[in-house]
Amino acid sequence: MQTAAVSRGPTTQKEQYEFRQLLKEMTELSHVTPSSKRIVRQTTHEFMDRKITSWKCTEYLYKKTPCPLPTQARGLFSSSSDEGDGEAMIVARGYDKFFNIGEVSKTQWQWIRDNTQGPYELTVKENGCLILAAGLDKDTLLVTSKHAIHVPHAQVGSSWIDKHLAS
C-alpha cells in the first residue's frame, strides 16, 4: 500500500523556511527575560489530540518604531507537523495589528499623504473580538479567539460556524 506525503498546503519552500524562522524568533523572544517581562508568551493548548501553541506579544511593542517583533499578527498559532518531523508550522494567523488615525507614525496624516495613493476604502474600527478558523486537516476545524482556544469567544465562534455550516 502506498501512502502520499502529507501536503503542508499551498506554500512554497521559501515560505515554509520563513515560517520556521518566524517561529524560531518568537521562541527566542519568549525566553529572553523573566516571565513577568517577556515580550512574547507562548502557551501550549491540547486540542483534539494535538498540541497547538498560541503566541502573544506585549501590546505596547506593536507601536514602537521600528517594531521589534518578527510579526505584527494578532493571533498566531502553530503546531508540529503531521509528518512527525518535529517541524513547527503556522496553522492560524490573524491580521496585522492596525491603528486609528494619529495613533502611530504610519497613521499620521502627513505620512499617509507622503506615502500612499488612493483610491481609499474607509472603515470604522469597532470593539469586538477576533475569531480565527483554520482547517487542520479535512476533518478538523480549529476555532480560536485571538490568543486562546478554550475560551468563551472561541466557543461562540465555533457555535456560529456550526450553525451556518448546517444551514
Instruction: State the catalytic residues.
Output: 125
Sign of torsion, CA 164 124 57 114? positive
3-state secondary structure of 25: helix
Mean pLDDT check: name the lowest of 27-31, 81-85, 149-153. 81-85
Note the pLDDT of residue 112. 94
Note the pLDDT of residue 5. 35
Which of 72-81, 108-117, 142-151 shows the highest mean pLDDT?
108-117
Name the helix (H) or strand (E) containing 109. Answer: helix 109-115
| Residue 53 predicted with pLDDT over 90 | yes
Measured CA to CA, the distance from residue 100 to residue 104 in angstroms comes to: 8
Note the pLDDT of residue 4. 32
3-state secondary structure of 59: helix
> What cell was used for 147?
490568543
Measured CA to CA, the distance from residue 135 to residue 35 in angstroms comes to: 32
Structural contact between residues 76 and 42, judged by C-beta atoms closer than 8 angstroms:
no
Q: How buried is residue 122: exposed, middle or buried, by Cβ count under 10 Å (0-12/13-18/19+)?
A: exposed
| Residue 3 predicted with pLDDT over 50 | no
User: pLDDT tens digits for 81-133?
Assistant: 655 566 788 999 998 888 888 999 989 999 999 999 999 888 877 887 889 99
Note the pLDDT of residue 82. 58
Count of C-beta atoms within a 10 Å radius of residue 145? 21
pLDDT band of residue 13 (cuts 50, 70, 90) is confident
Note the pLDDT of residue 36. 57
| Residue 48 predicted with pLDDT over 70 | yes
Structural contact between residues 43 and 53, judged by C-beta atoms closer than 8 angstroms:
yes
Measured CA to CA, the distance from residue 131 to residue 151 in angstroms comes to: 11
